[in-house]
Structure 1
C-alpha cells in the first residue's frame, strides 16, 4: 500500500517521522505539501497510530492502492452545503429572519444523524415562512463561497474525463447557479416553494434525502453506463452516507465523526483537491 500524507503546510520532519512509523520503503514528494510513502504494510494497529499522529500534526492521510488512478473513475458526486461550498445555505437564509441559531441547531443534529433528514428539513423550512425570496439572492451574493480546492479539483477531474454531479439536500436556487458557474454536468436538490415572492415554508416535489441521494447517484451511473464503484462520492453529513456507501471511493470532507468513521478517506485539513494526490 501507499500512505498519502498531506497538509495545508506540511512539515517535512513530521512527514519523515510518520513515514518511519509506517516503515515506508521510500517517500516521494508529490507537491510541496503532499507526499507518497510507498511500500507500507497497514494493519489496524498501525492505522490507529497514524490517525493519532496525523491529527496531532494537522495532516490528512490515506492508505491507497498504488495502482488506482483518477482515470479509473468516471464520475464525481458531491454534496453541496459544507462540502462544495463552505456554508449551510438554509442556516444563512434563516439568518435573514433572525432565526439562524434555531435552524442551525436542527441542521447540526441532522448532520450528526440524530434527527431524520425529512423531519429536519420540514422543521427548518417551516421557520422560513413569509421570508422575501430576495433573501436567497443575498445569501448567494454575500455569503456563498466555494470550499478550498474546489475549482482545482473540478478542473482536474473534468480534464481526466470524469462527469460531475451535485446532489444536495439544499435547494435548486443554489444548485442551479452552481451548475452554471462551475460547468457541472448534473444537479439534483429540493425546490423551495415560493408564492407571490415569499417563501411558503414548504418544499415541493421529491425530497432529496439520503435515499434520494443514493438513488440519484445510481440513476446517473446507469445513464453513463458505469458501476457506482466507478464513482467518487464526497460529503460531510449523515444524509450522505448511503450514497457514499455505494461508491468506489467515499470522501468525508470536514465531516461529522459518524461520516469520517465510515468513509474510505477523510479530509479534515486540506481542500477538496486533496483527493488528487491519493489518485496520482
Structure 2
C-alpha cells in the first residue's frame, strides 16, 4: 500500500514531519501532483499522523496498490455536490422562494435520516406549477463544475477509464454535465412537465440508492470489468450502495456517515485529488 497526502499548499516542513511520523526510513516521498505526494510500501496511518494531517487540512489516505489509474476501468460519480458544486433541486426551489423547506429535506436525506425516494417526492411536490424555463435559468446562472472535475475526467480518458454519472437529481442537468465533461453515460430522474410547467411529479422509476448500485453493476458487466476495477465517488447517504458495489468508494467532501464507510475520503482538495489518489507509480517523480 502507499500513503497519499495532498492539500492546497503543502510545505517542506509539513512533508518532513509527515515523513517522520510515518517512520518511512529509507522511503522517499514521490510527487504525483503539484501539491500531492506518496510514500510507497506503507502499512498504516498512525493516530498521530492522522491528527497532524487533519489539523493542517491535508488529505491523507492509505491506498491499495491495485487502486490505480492503470488498473481501473470504470469511474461512477454522483452529480449534485460531487461533479457540480450545487444541489440542483435546492437552486430550483430558491427561485420559488422555497429553498429553506427543500434544502432541509435534502440535508436530512443526505444524512440518511429520510428514505431517499420519499424525500425526493416531497421536494418535487413543492415545485408544482413552476415554469420549466426555471431549469435553464439554474444552468445559466448557477450550475458550476466542482474544482478539478475536468482534470479528473481528463485523467480517466487518458487511461481509458469509462465515466458514468448516476444521479438522484434530474436528467435535464445530468445531460448538460455529461456534455460539459464528455462523460460516457448519464442516468438521472425525469421531472414531469405539462404545458411548460412542472407538475410536482416524476416520470418513471426513481433513481435511489439501490438503482445507482444497479446501474453501476449493469455497466460494469457490459464492459466486462471486475468489481475491483470500478471506483465510485459520492457525498451523501444515497451513494453508499453504489460505493459498496464498486471495488473502492471515495467520499468527496461528504457527510460523516459516508466518510465512515468509504475506502478513501477527500475533504480539502478538489476532484483533481482523485487523479493523485490513484496515480500510478510510473507517473511519479521522486522528491529528494
- Find the counterpart in structure 2 of residue 14 from structure 1: 14
3-state DSSP of counterpart to 1:128: coil
Mapped partners of 2:33, 2:225: distance in 1: 32
Partner SS, residue 113 of structure 2 = coil
Q: State the Cα deviation string for residues 11-32 of structure 1 (Å, max 9, x = none).
A: 2212221221111232222233
TM-score (norm 1): 0.96
1:119 matched to which residue of 2?
Answer: 118
> Structure 2: any 5+ residue segments left out of the alignment?
280-288
Question: Offset of 1:261 from its aligned partner?
Answer: 0.7
How far apart are residue 208 of structure 1 and its match? 0.4
Alignment of 1:9-158 (within 5 A): 9-24=9-24, 25-42=27-44, 46=46, 48-66=47-65, 68-158=67-157
Measure, in 2, the Cα distance between the counterparts of 1:103 and 1:253: 22
Which secondary structure state, in structure 2, belongs to the residue aligned with residue 233 of structure 1?
strand
Look up the match of 1:269. Answer: 268
Q: Is the 8 A contact 1:23 1:40 kept in 2?
A: no
State the SS of the aligned residue for 2:29. strand
Provide the residue aligned with 1:5 in structure 2: 5
Q: Does 1:236 align with 2:251?
A: no
Task: Kindly report the root-mean-square deviation, in angstroms, between the aligned alpha carbons of the 2 structures.
Answer: 1.2
1:151 and 1:260 map into 2 onto residues whose CA distance is: 23
Which deviates more, 270-279 or 207-216? 270-279
Q: Which residue matches 2:285?
A: none
Aligned length: 277
Secondary structure at 1:148's aligned position in 2? coil
- 1:125, distance to aligned residue in structure 2 (A): 0.4
8 A Cα contact 1:193 1:201, kept in partner: yes
Task: Give the secondary-structure state (helix, strand or coil) at the position aligned to 1:155.
Answer: helix
Indicate the structure whose relative CO is greater, using CA pairs within 8 Å and at least 6 residues apart: 2
1:278 Cα offset (Å): 2.1
C-alpha separation between the residues in 2 aligned to 1:183 and 1:119? 32
Aligned equivalents of 2:238, 2:50: Cα separation in 1 = 25
Residue 35 of structure 1, CA deviation: 1.1
CA offset at residue 145 of structure 1? 0.4
Mapping of residues 115-264 of structure 1, within 5 Å: 115-264=114-263
Measured after TM superposition, the shift of residue 74 of structure 1 is 0.6
Give the match's secondary structure for 1:84. Answer: coil
Residue 67 of structure 1 and its aligned partner are, at CA, apart by 5.2
In structure 1, C-alpha distance between the alignment counterparts of 2:41 and 2:232, rounded to whole Å = 27
Q: Residue 278 of structure 1 corresponds to which residue in structure 2?
A: 277
Please give the secondary structure, in 2, of the residue aligned with 1:141. Answer: helix
State the SS of the aligned residue for 1:70.
coil
